[in-house]
Structure 1
């Protein structure tokens, strides 16, 4: 959701911009008038002589203000989305619905309609191609399924091909519209053939009441349903070389649905719990909405791979309704950069209510980055809409710099309370000038997030690790997997079975990594695309495909010996020694500048990984510097030794008494903390192994953090190990382990080379038991 600061900044910027425009206009007009007078050209007749005298006195000041305002006018930009300017093509569209097919089955009527729309300065048509469980075009996919086709033209022609051809001849964009999305009549052949594709409510009900009547819902989480919809979309893009595709409020799921066997099993597998009985439970809403969003990200990428400049259009309801009641997180789609234009449906009779909708924060935000329009009701067969209502809504929309989509064609003038000629004359005044659109300008854009928070799960996709933070990722187009987040190492390392079918560039280079527990990982270095939750990396990243795991001779009881499956590691440290490097470097825009790990306090709740450092989310952190390292060829950005120096250690029973010559790492990849002494004399009487409760321990950096723990027996909470290694590189080395993140939020700043610490809760519970 947009922050309050973001919303307020837009309001302030808009106000300042309008004010400056008025000053510029007033000042320039007066300056021009003064210049004309100096040239012997009399100023225009004045109504109020006193106002003229006032203007004469203030004229030098107004001229100066207008000049300065003209210089400053472009400096006010939204606080969140600092994006390069892109052309804003005004949407002037109309939906061609199933009701219109009595008109569009006739070729001559299609030609006349497209010609007339062009003359009235429309620029886009949205012909329906998916409705009631049937395609409105001859589909090889539906034919293979044995589902009949009913929508031939009067001469047997392909109606959609005719509309697209005639629209292009007139210079209009034709964007096929998948009206029904996941909605389908229960009585349709599709529903009858694939009952396992349908989802249901908790009470077993399979239908809901919609504007289209009683309908069932295809399960948007089912891979076969996703494959079917994707194939239809790609068939249209390929068969007609369409200018784009549009999805409306039915590419969603009513919030009461999702209690079918497949979805219950999937949710239980991923979360460890069955879906809650309350369909509006927040976590249950988010899980389902994110699954639909993941599908839309994949669908967008599939469309763009076939036709990069195709318009990926969305026509939803207003955001609160769409997200909470339809699981359609379209604002997140916009921010992810997968929506090329948006037309929000606002079918209201009352002008005040209409204006309230088009002033919503999500519209203010969206129109900053993509062409944005408002869906206006032109009328229905049983509910015609009078011209004054249409005209007032169009005027309000245009005043806010928004485009327009009318629902639907026949109600523009054929089904209306006024005569057709009067309606057409009125529509001619709505768009007095031509504004044709050009899809060649529709270039891919980056996500508009400055920062985003991703959940860190407590359980991996594979294995039985006691504690850890696991980030959900998709690699090479594979299904999402929960992979261990490791702040103590660099690089992405996964088993081969985590890969999907997306392209992979092999290097033929076999690499070896030795983990702190003595596990040796071996496998090939490759490059491929990855996605963090819903967020794709900007370009392919290096990945080690692990095909062999074994233990070192020094640590024969490593994790490889246990037989537990390897759940993968994503190392996000900036102390890269070679390739692999931290894959977070390849995030788009501001998201690559650093991150914050927020732990879960030792509870079963998720932690979070905050990507993208901003002034707001860095508040409250105390910073410690890293030392800069030489760059490595092929590793983007700065390279840092992220081991903190001048760390003070006090360990009861040892010679370390507030000794401040230690080095430390904060490491989510290590369950239990570790202190390593180079000299046995530093350890004093302590022996290597697990420390006891009598060995109270304190680690601190003066003025930055002060962490203490009483060693115990709980893995990941208070167990602490001691090692004496004469071959060690450093006199005193401390790895605080994952329990440290129960006490502190930890920030990693790869731009400025520093690490931040912010206390999460009060000290006093020395063994860091979960708080209730």
Structure 2
């Protein structure tokens, strides 16, 4: 065993030594060590006095702290004079002894000492049931399955605002915007209460929303995995929108979170903060680890999610400096700070008064010890806080078999949120380009109108008309890096040639997200504006004809391209306003055989793989090519074979099942090419299809 132990020790030393250069090579903003302290409601007896605020900030600066987190939202009240809560008739209690705005004073004094001041929304979605806010808006509260509206927390018995309710989201968003604007704050922080206990979510609004999106009410087990994920993803989506709101007001503001350790946060509080980090919406993280036992403390700060996070953003550990009824020794604080420092982690202390005012040791001794913990200055600069791309190289989004509106027989529908609106399941169309939605899908986020009315004619003869606008869009949880062009459809009608188009069916328009790269005008494929690697292509995986979800894989990597056989596109001239390369993604030299027609292994066809077409289609420019076949639905005797040599070989026996085996034939002298094949949605049941706009190619991988 001895040689083996020696080898293990040697490898461990190598690995530990190899960690140092990685941290040393991080960008400047990541080397800004967090040395912070929370200024809690317990501290307001100190901070109501201007001279004491000045003395406190001066002392923190002398002890080489660099960040303060003053509480601004606590116990159902703002700690600052808020015009928003004033309009709601909620009283304000927290003036200074001279009538001053305490938060304004703290921020001003902190800045004068070179400290960052990041207002802290301590209570998040948590409020007392007896508060004015709860009394005024009982419909804003969520509940457990048995109707219980409260839970027991460190703050006592509390109720929970419903994080999924649009009015609750609007209220939180307005408070955050107010703080950023009113104080030009260095950032905002949300802690473990920007969440929801796992037992909650059984209120009428949430049950209705879940049922609408999933077809069934929430499961009775609050810890069912799909139910946990649905609620956690909804909270994440709100955090994405909140991040965009903050950055729109102040691009370099720090969006900070201070959650519990991840396993607890996700499973019991529906707080998927690791996903927030990966999405690029968190600028710093301070994980609360309030443990007395050093071994347990170290176990938490060495978890994989912390190791991942600290390679991306400034990361700190929240350490308990003491409570009024539970003081903490300076020895415990020193050992925990040392353990964090040894692992390249910053520190946040909870809370100011317990640093030395309420402590088992004399104040002078405590202050001397803190001076030793931070012997050198380490000021922070928010100018270094630049926008960050998601760390995902690739991500998979579900494709649903039914839309949010309408009764389409089959399709692949992607969840899309437009201009901060509720996510809607919109038809994924690989055969067209541009996002087109009814105006009802738009949220309240800013929209840039162009006044330009545009028209789009769909393959079934439907004419869509409406204004071209620009707005932010979110695919699942992934927001576009900037606003994208969208057609807001206000009118639908049929062409004279196809009077029985979908506009005449009476079915509401469910929206189309066209992801083809053969753009003919604006709007263009909105996937072009996804952040980072996620914009470099995608893969569509069908559902095999089942009722389960297919998937849209965003971001091509070496791994997810394995097994695909490629066919090339031809490059097209640029169009003003369309970013990136433009391609004719109608594949050439496709071989087509239709039994009973003159098309027998005709390899001069063009083909498009189109998720928006329910049934396969062949369009002949000349009736001669159709031979004895008449336009319309093919029969089983008219077997279809579509192939590209060495790439794919697709066979279909025409039948009567929409979306599975129906195949239509048309003759159109106005057609652009002699033979065009649209394989329809059934093709995606047999092949995964890859779209690569960087290299101008399309890939096919058999699923059989």
TM-score (norm 1): 0.85
User: In structure 2, which of residues 104, 115, 120 is the aligned counterpart of residue 172 of structure 1?
Assistant: 115
2:546 is the alignment partner of 1:547: no
CA shift in 2, pair 1:19/1:221, >3 Å: closer
The Cα shift of 1:688 comes to 1.7
User: 1:669 deviation in Å?
Assistant: 0.8
Aligned pairs for 1:237-252 (under 5 A) are 237-252=180-195
1:634 aligns with 2:577: yes
d(CA) in 1 for partners of 2:494 and 2:102?
66
CA distance in 2, matches of 1:85, 1:456: 40
For the 8 Å contact 1:478–1:499, the answer to whether it is kept is: yes
Maintained 8 Å contact 2:606/2:676: yes
Residues 1:228 and 2:171 are matched in the alignment: yes
Whole-angstrom distance in 2 between the partners of 1:494 and 1:20: 49
Per the TM alignment, residue 20 of structure 1 is displaced from its structure 2 partner at its CA by 9.2
Distance 1:76 1:484, change over 3 A: farther
Counterpart of 2:198 in structure 1 is 255
Correspondence 1:126 to 2:69: yes
**Which of 392, 395, 399 pairs up with 1:456?**
399
Match of 1:623 among 531, 554, 566: 566
- Once the two structures are superposed, the pairs formed by residues 369-448 of structure 1 within 5 Å of their partners are 369-448=312-391
The question of whether the paired residues in 2 share the 8 Å contact of 1:454 and 1:608 is answered with yes
Matched, 1:139 2:138: no
Q: SS of 1:601's equivalent?
A: coil
Change (3 A) 1:418 1:617: same
Q: Match for residue 509 of structure 2?
A: 566
Tell me, yes or no, if structure 1 residue 115 matches structure 2 residue 115: no
Could you say which residue in structure 2 is the equivalent of 1:93?
A: 36
Structure showing greater Rg: 1
Note the C-alpha offset of 1:670: 0.4
Give the distance between the partners of 2:697 and 2:391, measured in 1 at CA. Answer: 25
Q: Deviations over 1:169-207 (max 9, x none)?
A: 222111111111101112222222221111001111111
Check whether the contact 1:246–1:314 (CA below 8 A) recurs between aligned residues.
Answer: yes
Whether the 8 Å contact between 1:17 and 1:76 is mirrored in structure 2 is: no
Counterpart selection for 1:311 from 250, 254, 257: 254
Distance 1:213 1:411 in 2: 20
Contact 1:458 1:605 in 2 (8 A): yes
**Is the partner of 1:226 in helix, strand or coil?**
helix
Aligned to 2:548: 605
Aligned partner of 1:758 in structure 2 is: 701
Q: Is 1:583 aligned to 2:582, yes or no?
A: no
Residues 11-35 of structure 1: per-residue CA shift (max 9 Å, x gap): x9996683497xxxxxxxxxxxxxx
User: How far off is 1:647 after superposition?
Assistant: 2.2
Q: 1:110 to 1:510 in 2, by over 3 A?
A: closer
How far apart, CA to CA, are the structure 2 residues paired with 1:677 and 1:119?
A: 82
Worse overlay, 234-243 or 561-570: 234-243
3-state secondary structure, aligned to 1:686: coil
Residue 17 of structure 2 corresponds to which residue in structure 1? 18
Distance in 1 between the 2:519 and 2:92 partners? Answer: 59
Which among 699, 706, 709 is matched to residue 649 of structure 2? Answer: 706
Tell me how far apart the structure 2 counterparts of residues 747 and 15 of structure 1 sit (CA, whole Å): 41
The equivalent position to 1:298 in structure 2, one of 241, 244, 253, is 241
| Normalised TM-score (structure 2) | 0.93
The correspondence for 1:148, drawn from 69, 91, 96, is 91
The answer to whether the 8 A contact 1:91-1:405 is kept is: yes
Instruction: Please give the per-residue CA displacement for 1:477-519, whole angstroms capped at 9, x wherever unaligned.
Output: 3333222110001112222333334444444443322211111
Aligned equivalent of 1:732: 675
Q: Matched residues in 2 for 1:76 and 1:107: separation? A: 40
Q: Which moved more, 1:586-595 or 1:653-662?
A: 653-662
Instruction: Name structure 2 gaps, 5 residues minimum.
Output: 1-10
Q: Secondary structure at the match of 1:93?
A: strand
For 1:124-148, what per-residue CA distance to the aligned partner results, in whole angstroms no more than 9, with x for missing partners? 1111121121222233333333333
Contact persistence 2:30–2:312 (CA under 8 A): no
Alignment partner of 1:535 is 2:478: yes
SS of 1:602's partner is coil
1:269 paired with 2:212, answer: yes
| SS class of match (2:337) | helix
Aligned equivalents of 2:360 and 2:420: distance in 1?
A: 53
- Mapped to 1, the partners of 2:28 and 2:376 lie a distance apart of 23
Superposed CA offset, 1:241-273 (max 9, x none): 322211000000011110000111111122222
CA distance 1:705–1:120, change in 2 (3 Å): same
Q: Sort the Cα spacing of 1:696 and 1:587 in 2 relative to 1 into closer, same or farther, 3 A.
A: same
State the Cα deviation string for residues 59-110 of structure 1 (Å, max 9, x = none).
xxxxxxxxxxxxxx78999xxxxx9774531110011112222332333332
- With over 3 angstroms needed to count, the CA separation of the structure-2 counterparts of 1:448 and 1:201, relative to structure 1, is same
- Using a 3 Å threshold, how does the CA distance of structure 1 residues 715 and 92 change in structure 2: closer, same or farther? same
User: 2:632 matched to 1:689?
Assistant: yes
The alpha-carbon distance between structure 1 residues 505 and 262, as it changes in their structure 2 partners (threshold 3 A), is closer
Q: Deviations over 1:526-565 (max 9, x none)?
A: 3333222332222222222323222122211111111222
Alpha-carbon distance between aligned partners in 1 of 2:202 and 2:589, rounded to the nearest angstrom: 56
Rounded Cα–Cα distance in structure 1 between residues aligned with 2:358 and 2:451: 67
Q: 2: distance between equivalents of 1:757 and 1:655?
A: 27
- Corresponding position: 1:217 with 2:142: no
Q: Which of 291, 311, 325 matches 2:268? A: 325
Corresponding residue for residue 593 of structure 1 = 536
Conservation of the 8 A alpha-carbon contact between 2:29 and 2:314: no
Gaps of 5+ in 1: 1-11, 22-72, 78-82, 763-772
1:87–1:441 CA contact under 8 A, matched in 2: no
Partner residue, 2:46? 103
Q: Secondary structure at the match of 1:653?
A: coil
**What SS does structure 2 have at the residue aligned with 1:263?**
helix
**Partners of 1:230 and 1:632 in 2: how far apart?**
38
Alignment of 1:2-13 (within 5 A): none
1:280 matched to 2:223? The reply is yes
Q: Cα 1:75–1:324, aligned 2, differ >3 Å: closer, same or farther?
A: closer
Query: Does the 8 Å CA contact 1:530/1:536 hold for their aligned counterparts?
Result: yes
Matched residues, number: 694
Instruction: Call closer, same or farther: CA 1:502–1:411 in 2, change over 3 Å.
Output: closer
What is the SS of the residue equivalent to 1:322?
helix
What is the rounded CA distance, in whole Å, between the counterparts of 1:283 and 1:601 in structure 2?
Answer: 22
Answer yes or no: is the 8 Å Cα contact 1:198–1:217 preserved in 2: yes
Mapped to 2, the partners of 1:87 and 1:186 lie a distance apart of: 40
